[in-house]
Amino acid sequence: MSNIIYIGYEFKVTPLQPGVEILIAELGYAGFESFVETEEGVTAYIQKEEWNESILDDVQILNSEEFKIDFAFNEIEQTNWNEEWEKNFNPIVVDNICSVRAPFHEKPNTPYDIIIEPKMSFGTGHHETTHMMIQHILKNDFTNKSVLDMGCGTGVLAILAEMKGANPIDAVDYDNWCYLNSLENVERNNCKHITVIEGDASVLTGKKYDIIIANINRNILLNDMETYVSCLNKGGLLFLSGFYKDDIPVIQETCEKYMLKFEEKLERNHWVALKFFKLVH
């Protein structure tokens, strides 16, 4: 494993909501990749090699008169991350159907039970976007569907897709830590049909899928939309999340340009997850 160093920012936000939600959305656009909500605000992480001194210049909420936000930052070695997650990671249950928990949590009585060691990866199910994507997967037919989980983080969405009958499944993330973590979680949940791939949208050349799940952020989604559409079979489904409800117009406009029909919106604390259908012509 490469010795990746992260910069961790501790933000204290008043009032907490919707301040924390807006802050996380803007930090995601700025390049931050992992977030842990705290009693006073949020801790945000970015790889040191992606960081620069002006990283927060475009985070507009920091200059808003509606919120008081203080912060401090320091370098964090990822080898210290496991203990932090064990202290902060609580099991969740989505719609009384799907649970996401760590190995040290008691097994719940749900039809789908996903066991993960989240480490530094984004996508534990706690964040609104992952929660809503789980809801989308639970509501739709994945039986014998070929699936792409783009920006897979912990691999939790790919794992649930297999539990719902999908086959084959590609789980892709550009971050080495997420790639290794997804491999571990795929094995931990005895998945047989998931291929974990380290890379970005460039690794999708020549691939085709019935369903694409992309929980990333607005800028990456817009940049890679043409690639996703080229990989999506006619009549296929595209699920998008990782962005704020105010971003819906630009996301929907781009999707419609590529002959994707909007079908459903889920909303949770100002975050959204959208479902699109690829029209057959």
* Helix (H), strand (E), coil (C) string for 229-244: HHHEEEEEEEEEEEEE
Strands 98-101 and 147-150: unpaired
Burial class (CB in 10 A: 0-12, 13-18, 19+), 108: middle
For the ranges 123-132, 195-204, 228-237, the lowest mean pLDDT is seen at 123-132
> 71, 81, 84, 87: which is closest to 6 by C-alpha?
81
Sheet arrangement for strand 271-278: 194-198, 169-173, 147-150, 209-215, 232-244, 271-278, 260-268
**HEC string for 151-206:** CCCCCHHHHHHHHCCCCCEEEEECCHHHHHHHHHHHHHCCCCCEEEEECCHHHHCC
How many C-beta neighbours within 10 Å does residue 261 have? 12
How many Å separate Cα 86 from the centre of its chain? 20
Contact indicator for 255, 230 with CB cutoff of 8 Å: no
Q: Which two tokens stand for residue 121?
A: 């990866």
Output the pLDDT for position 1: 39
Output the pLDDT for position 125: 58
pLDDT surpassing 90 at residue 124: no
pLDDT in tens, 139-162: 999 999 999 999 998 899 999 999
Output the pLDDT for position 2: 47
Stated as kind and residue range, the H or E segment containing 210 is strand 209-215
Name which residue leads in pLDDT, 73 or 129: 73
Output the pLDDT for position 190: 97
The whole-angstrom separation of Cα 242 and Cα 33 is 11
Output the pLDDT for position 128: 81
Helix (H, G, I), strand (E, B) or coil at 149: strand
Say which residue the tokens 């932090």 belong to. 84
Q: Record the pTM.
A: 0.74
Give the chain's radius of gyration (CA, Å).
Answer: 18
pLDDT surpassing 90 at residue 266: yes
